[in-house]
Structures are given as structure tokens and as C-alpha cells.
Amino acid sequence: MATADLAAARSGDPAALERVLIHSRQNLRRYAEYHCVINDVEDAVQESLITVSRKLRDLRVLECFVSWTFRIVKRECNRLKRGRRMFSGEAITDDIMPVVTPEPAEWRHDVAAALESLPTHYRNIILLRDLEGLSIAEIGERLSMTREAVKSRLHRARALAREYLDA
């Protein structure tokens, strides 16, 4: 693929974007065949191409385009697998890390201790998102914060909780 087409597509040239997507489609399809259920390959590729077309302007380094698109496809395949498992009632597994299932009482105590160790503003944001199930926008409205600030605080809160649980 020509770097000029990629740069032009990122700048908003629709003809260049079309050439980039057409050129990428076959590689994404081959990659999806290894990561998706066979019936989901085409859906994953289509959704990924849509995501690429919408988010290409956000790509910081053009040299990362291929690996970036492959990550999008893999994420879409995993999303489709989770949806299929939820629909079928099969257990949902984590494809990246092995599932660790501590004793329920032990797990509850560890999580409670991790939450108690957090500063109040971090604890509140985790509770709003993970316990109450509010969206990022809803949390932002409730706490009078921007979407980006909510996401940043949630990320830091989860990192601190994870650090506590790993210790």
C-alpha cells in the first residue's frame, strides 16, 4: 500500500480512503479467518473497516497502520465470540490471560480491601462504573467531569486497585 494514499486518507481524501480499505480488506480477511468463528469472519472484517474509516485520523504513526488494523479485527472477533457465548449460554473465557477463580469469600474480601485502599474519588468512579453500570457519559454528568477526565480517572483507579490486588 502506498504511504501517500494512507496519508491522504488520514487527511480526509475519500478516494484515497477507498483505495486503502480495498487494499486492506484481503489481509484483514485472512487475519480474521484465524481469530474468528468462520461465520463471523465477514462481519468482523466489515465492522473493522468501518472502524478504520472512522478512526484513521486518530492514528498517530502511519507505520503502525497494519498492526493497528489487525488489532481492530482481533478485538472485533473477540467481541463477536463474547456475543455468541452470551447468546448460547457458554462460559465466557478470557483469551489473553488465564482465568483465576479464587474462593468467592476470599475474592470479595480482597476486592473490598482494594476498594477501601483507594482514595474516595477513585473508589467512587469505580463504584459508579462497575457496580452501578453507568456509562462514561452518565458518570461525567453526575460528577460534572468531561468524558476524557472520567476515562482517565477510571483508568488510574483500576490501575491502583489492580496494583493492590497483585501485591
> Can you give the three-state secondary structure of the chain, one letter per residue?
CCHHHHHHHHHCCHHHHHHHHHHHHHHHHHHHHHHCCHHHHHHHHHHHHHHHHHHHHHCCCHHHHHHHHHHHHHHHHHHHHHHHHHHHCCCCCCCCCCCCCCCHHHHHHHHHHHHHHCCHHHHHHHHHHHHCCCCHHHHHHHHCCCHHHHHHHHHHHHHHHHHHHHC
Q: Calculate the average pLDDT of the chain.
A: 83
pLDDT of 79 > 80? The answer is: yes
pLDDT band at 34 (very low <50, low <70, confident <90, very high): confident
Cα end-to-end span (Å), the chain: 46
Predicted pLDDT at 99? 47
pTM of the model: 0.50
pLDDT digits (tens, 9 = 90+) for 42-63: 999 999 999 999 988 888 888 8
CB contact at 8 A, 76 and 122: no
Mean pLDDT on 16-44: 88
Predicted pLDDT at 87? 64
